[in-house]
Amino acid sequence: MLELKNITYEVEGNKEIIKDVSVKIDDHFVAITGPNGGGKSTLAKIIAGIVTPTGGQILLDGEDITGLNITERAKRGISFAFQQPVHFKGLTVKDLITIASGKQMSVTEICQILSEVGLCAREYVNREINNSLSGGELKRIEIAMIKARGTKLSIFDEPEAGIDLWSFNSLIKVFEKMRDEIKGTILIISHQERILNIADKVIVIADGKLEKVGTKEEVLPGLLHTATACSTLVEKNER
């Protein structure tokens, strides 16, 4: 279980701020949503240790991990899929999946993970993680790394960002499947109604503050019908 206690992040000159966010995340599939620039990604980075909060505490299964660095948190079971996957000259899909899993992997095992995220495996195993791969492919590899780790907390920062609608439709299926299969908690930042619909809990972050927490039945109707609460979601929905 992940617990955030009074998490605050305020840095002069930085627009991305978090104000006193406290929330317990213990459901299986939790979605964070809210307007762009509202602090969702910052909050996810604070959990992964990439951004250090200026105040507050983070507890993972009761242990205070606020002072731990990225590596230590990763070793305690936090995984983080970037919104914009990083390119690596020279490192291949196989290399990254192997690093992610923390053990030597056979080609068959790697193929298994890749096909679970919808990549026709063999042709990808030795591909370099560079711009010869499309945005959708990089996203899938990013997700495959999280699956290879299989930790107790998996955070996904807007998996739908930057990919086309066709790729997205099949990506949704990956998450629906992951919801049924993965153990532990999935924390996913998303604007997509189809993702929110499969969430056990929805957290709304706006202006750096925790605006609402509840089941999708409690949160979604309010979101979709008040333009001020989440104009992005409404816009995306209308498109």
Partner 1 sequence: MDSIQKNLLAQVADLHEVPEGAYNIRANGAGVSRNTTANIDIVTKTDKDGIDIIIKPGTKNESVHIPVVLSQSGIQESVYNDFYIGEDADVTIVAGCGIHNCGVDTSKHAGIHTFYLEKNAKVRYVEKHYGEGDGNGENIMDPVTIVHLAENAHLEMETTQIKGIDSTIRVTKGDLAEGAFLEVREKIMTHGKQYAKTDFAIDMNGENCKCNLISRSVAKGNSKQEFFSIMNGNAACSGHSECDAIIMDSACVTASPQLTANNIDANLIHEAAIGKIAGEQLIKLMTLGLTEQEAEEQIIQGFLK
Residues that bind partner 1 (CB under 8 A): 48, 50, 69-71, 74-75, 78-80, 82, 86-92, 95-96, 99-100, 102, 145, 149
Minimum Å gap between C-beta 148 and partner 1 is: 9
Minimum Å gap between C-beta 36 and partner 1 is: 20
Closest CA relative to residue 160, chosen from 74, 210, 232: 232
Closer residue to partner 1 (CB): 31 or 129: 129
Residue given tokens 């153990």 in the structure block? 183
Closer residue to partner 1 (CB): 35 or 77: 77
Closer residue to partner 1 (CB): 151 or 190: 151
Closer residue to partner 1 (CB): 78 or 171: 78
Minimum Å gap between C-beta 158 and partner 1 is: 16
Alpha-carbon dihedral sign for residues 173, 30, 19, 233: positive
Closest CA relative to residue 32, chosen from 228, 214, 224: 214
Minimum Å gap between C-beta 218 and partner 1 is: 32
Minimum Å gap between C-beta 96 and partner 1 is: 8
Q: Determine the length of the chain.
A: 239
In whole angstroms, what is the distance from residue 191 CA to residue 56 CA?
Answer: 27
Q: Are 140 and 92 in contact (CB under 8 A)?
A: no
For 28-69, the DSSP string reads SEEEEE--TTSSHHHHHHHHHTSS--SEEEEEETTEE-TT--
Residue 216 backbone phi and psi in degrees, to 5: -65, -30
Helix, strand, coil tally for the chain in percent (to 5): 40, 25, 35
What does DSSP assign to residue 176? H
Minimum Å gap between C-beta 179 and partner 1 is: 22
Closer residue to partner 1 (CB): 30 or 81: 81
Residue 165 backbone phi and psi in degrees, to 5: -60, -40
Closer residue to partner 1 (CB): 144 or 196: 144
Closer residue to partner 1 (CB): 29 or 80: 80
Minimum Å gap between C-beta 5 and partner 1 is: 23
